[in-house]
Structure 1
Amino acid sequence: MTEKPARGQEPPEPEPDRPEPERPAEPEPPGTPEPFEEPPPATERYVPQPVPPELGGSTGRGRRVRRFRLTAWIALVLAAVVVGASVLWVNGPPTEAELREKAGLFGKETLRIGVKDDTPGIALQDRSGARVFRGFDIDIAYMIAADLGYPKDRVAFMAIETEDRARMQARDKDGLFVRVDLVVATFSVTPERQRDPSVGFSTPYLYTEQSVVTRSDYEGKVTSLGQLRGKKVCTLGTSTSEVELERATRADVTAKNRISDCIEGLKNGEYDAVTTDAAILAGFVKESAGELVHHDIALEKTEMWAVNAGPNAALRDLINLALYRSYADPQNHGWEDAYKDNIEPMLAASRDVNVAQSEQPCVLPPPIRRWPWERGLAAAQECLSR
């Protein structure tokens, strides 16, 4: 049994719990950073909030003004480009179509071309009497004509003699003299001819050199024109070969209009030698089956054959464009095929002579208005680097 404590000795009653007084919040020191806010969950798309105008942000009106200014600036730049291109297009060189009109090709059914007719491998008319021509010059003429818009059945070849190349007078099928549109007839470029107002040379299409041909029984080897002193020599009249021959020797020179007449006289013993361009003589040497011998006379001067368009400057530029396309376009094999089919077969019979350069002479783009993607700058740079 539990005893009760005596009165006055009871333990004191426990005091009830009193809430502790709240302490005032301590002020945060100045410069305390804002509490870090965690970025939104990855699954939520974060949308940046616009900066208020009072903090440097832009209003809707400001954004519209800036967009308007940017659009206006772009429009001005485009307008300047268009105007500049239009000025260049109007004031620049003529187009190919404009040149065709100036050259008188619109409405012209047949293109008349003066060519040689007696030079094997270069320009030879069929011996049957038909007006069929074959040779390097013929293939070059066909190539140019095709670029001018004339297929083979719309090209008329007419025989032209050496002295008539500058006058551009050839003979038609009836033997009458007619003016041709252009001349592709072993016509070499010289300063004197370039000063002639009736001659309008294209860029050169073949490089060759002067050489000499004798019969196989000729004693010794001809290495210079000077060795022909006192000999009977035949060459083409009014040609570069005649000029060089007169400068180098006092030979008994006979000038002919047709190189085939010189070769015939050589074979018959009328002449001791014949001299003219190597590319012209090589075909005769090949056909002679050893009867003729080709000699290199070591002249440094290069004979450059070019097309004569006369005073028709527009036609000359179109011819240059055709030659440029042949030179610059890797898909265009017109010149290479002409060389391979006509000149290469002649080389074996003239091993000691540099008959003709085996690459087309370099051609720069003519002054014809074309779009940038039509311009062969690579070919132009290659031309300038040579």
Structure 2
Amino acid sequence: MGDSRMDRMKAWRLSRRPKVAPTAEDADVTEDEPPLDVDPVVPPEERGRTLRLAGWLAAVTLAGVVAAWTIWATGSPTEADLREEARLVGKQELLIGVKDDSPGVALLDPKTGRYEGFDIEIAYMVAAELGFSPRQVRFLAIETEDRGRMQAMDRDGRFATVDLVVATFSVTAERTAQIYMSEPYLETEQTVVTRRDHEDVSSLGDLAGEKACTLATSTSEGKLREARATPVSKNRISECVAGLRAGKYDAVTTDAAILAGFVAKYANELRAHDIGLTTPERWGIATGRNRALRTLVNLALYRSYANPQDRRWEKAFDTYLAPLQQANGRQQVAMAEQPLIDEPDVRRWPWERDVP
């Protein structure tokens, strides 16, 4: 028992001695070896929570990807989708119905066979956005009553169905109920043109009892009847103007932008009267029963409107309509700004959002 006590006393004294760091000889490793990393022991419940969090994040990410793809796949059509639906893919020629007798708007030069005017430039602009070069555009003369039927006459005297009608076609509820029409590309108003010796005309009512010529199926025809004038309808505005100059009619009435070129051409014979109508005439582009093509036309007009670097509309106006204003006096030919148009619902990639 004494030995046991002495042994415990020695052990206690040894435990009270200061500890000395082991030398290199005492260790199995050298001083240059780094200490071993020991992973902390993670409790099972903590490890379970980590795994559940990782799984939840993966599920949320996958759901987001699936949702984004679903929206992309089932959302609005892309421009490529619309081109295919509009039957433009592989098409080599675009047929456009236009007027051929309206100076400043759309006039066919019989010597050269070339069309020129504001409507012609707008038609070229839209065609370019649809992917057609000027050489791939063929203009066909179209009369007023045939615009809604999309029927124009070729040079052989045969009728053909056109893809677009860009022919001073005012957008109305009645017309849009029958065919697809684009958003407006020009805003003008109705006017009256008489010979210079005619009394001032301040309203359509001043034409009561007089013979006034206008375009058949136009918005002006009904207004003349309401004013108790005697309307005479023609399919070509040039026929109305020729009859006015010859004394067959007392007046001609239709959109100011249509008549402005004639007033400028025959400035010594004709004059325009501002009749103060507040309802504007807004010209649109007809696409018949082709809804996808209507959307593409609206996209072309939107790009022209939204892109400040695109000056094609302004150039067309300054070249063909602005020079007519002086001869038309107080009657404004047309608004000198392209009408506001909202962006069509066409699907685009995020990086395309800032591109008109």
Q: TM-score range by the shorter chain?
A: 0.7 to 0.9
Counterparts of 2:350 and 2:74, CA distance in 1 = 17
Deviation, 1:161, is 0.1
Specify the alignment match of 1:132 in structure 2.
114
Counterparts of 2:336 and 2:44, CA distance in 1 = 73
Indicate if the aligned counterparts of 1:317 and 1:366 stay in contact, CA closer than 8 A: yes
Deviation, 1:365, is 1.4
Counterparts of 2:326 and 2:59, CA distance in 1 = 67
Name the SS of the counterpart of 1:341 in structure 2: helix
Specify the alignment match of 2:191 in structure 1.
211
AA in 1 matched with 2:316:
A
Deviation, 1:194, is 1.9
- The number of residue pairs the alignment matches comes to 319
- Which of the residues 242, 247, 262 maps onto 2:226? 247
Match status 1:118 vs 2:101: yes
Match status 1:231 vs 2:226: no
Deviation, 1:354, is 2.1
Name the SS of the counterpart of 1:113 in structure 2: strand
Matches within 5 A, 1:312-331: 312-331=290-309
Deviation string, structure 1 residues 318-375 (Cα, Å, up to 9, x no partner) = 1111011111122222211111111111111112112211111111111211123433
Indicate if the aligned counterparts of 2:215 and 2:254 stay in contact, CA closer than 8 A: yes
Deviation string, structure 1 residues 154-178 (Cα, Å, up to 9, x no partner) = 0000000000000010011212111
- Which of the residues 235, 243, 260 maps onto 1:257? 235
Name the SS of the counterpart of 2:240 in structure 1: helix
Deviation, 1:187, is 0.5
Specify the alignment match of 1:143 in structure 2.
125
Indicate if the aligned counterparts of 1:103 and 1:313 stay in contact, CA closer than 8 A: yes
AA in 2 matched with 1:92:
G
Name the SS of the counterpart of 2:135 in structure 1: helix
Name the SS of the counterpart of 1:336 in structure 2: helix
Name the SS of the counterpart of 2:97 in structure 1: strand
Indicate if the aligned counterparts of 1:365 and 1:376 stay in contact, CA closer than 8 A: no
**Which of structures 1 and 2 has the bigger CA Rg?**
1
Counterparts of 1:339 and 1:69, CA distance in 2 = 66
Counterparts of 2:233 and 2:354, CA distance in 1 = 44
Counterparts of 2:284 and 2:354, CA distance in 1 = 22
Match status 1:157 vs 2:139: yes
- Which of the residues 171, 189, 195 maps onto 2:177? 195
Counterparts of 1:64 and 1:325, CA distance in 2 = 56
Counterparts of 2:213 and 2:313, CA distance in 1 = 31
Indicate if the aligned counterparts of 1:110 and 1:155 stay in contact, CA closer than 8 A: yes
Deviating more after overlay: 332-341 vs 203-212:
332-341
Name the SS of the counterpart of 1:262 in structure 2: helix
5+ residue gaps, structure 1: 1-51, 380-386
Counterparts of 1:141 and 1:217, CA distance in 2 = 38
Counterparts of 1:71 and 1:126, CA distance in 2 = 75
Deviation string, structure 1 residues 65-115 (Cα, Å, up to 9, x no partner) = 776566545433332221111010111011111111111111111000000
Counterparts of 1:211 and 1:373, CA distance in 2 = 46
Residues 258, 59 of structure 1: alpha-carbon distance in 2 compared, 3 angstrom cutoff? same
The TM-score with structure 1 as length reference comes to 0.78
TM-align CA RMSD: 2.3
Which structure features the higher share of strand residues?
A: 2
- Which of the residues 312, 334, 337 maps onto 1:356? 334
- Percent pairwise identity: 56
Specify the alignment match of 2:259 in structure 1.
281
Residues 290, 63 of structure 1: alpha-carbon distance in 2 compared, 3 angstrom cutoff? farther
Counterparts of 2:277 and 2:155, CA distance in 1 = 39
Deviation, 1:289, is 3.1
- Which of the residues 150, 174, 177 maps onto 1:168? 150
Indicate if the aligned counterparts of 2:224 and 2:230 stay in contact, CA closer than 8 A: no
Match status 1:345 vs 2:323: yes
AA in 2 matched with 1:222:
V
- Which of the residues 57, 68, 78 maps onto 1:85? 68
Deviation string, structure 1 residues 215-254 (Cα, Å, up to 9, x no partner) = 1121x211000101121211111100111111122x2221
Name the SS of the counterpart of 2:253 in structure 1: strand
AA in 2 matched with 1:275:
T
Name the SS of the counterpart of 2:205 in structure 1: helix
Residues 234, 319 of structure 1: alpha-carbon distance in 2 compared, 3 angstrom cutoff? same
Counterparts of 2:61 and 2:184, CA distance in 1 = 42
Match status 1:336 vs 2:311: no
Deviating more after overlay: 148-157 vs 72-81:
72-81
Name the SS of the counterpart of 1:304 in structure 2: strand
Name the SS of the counterpart of 1:167 in structure 2: coil
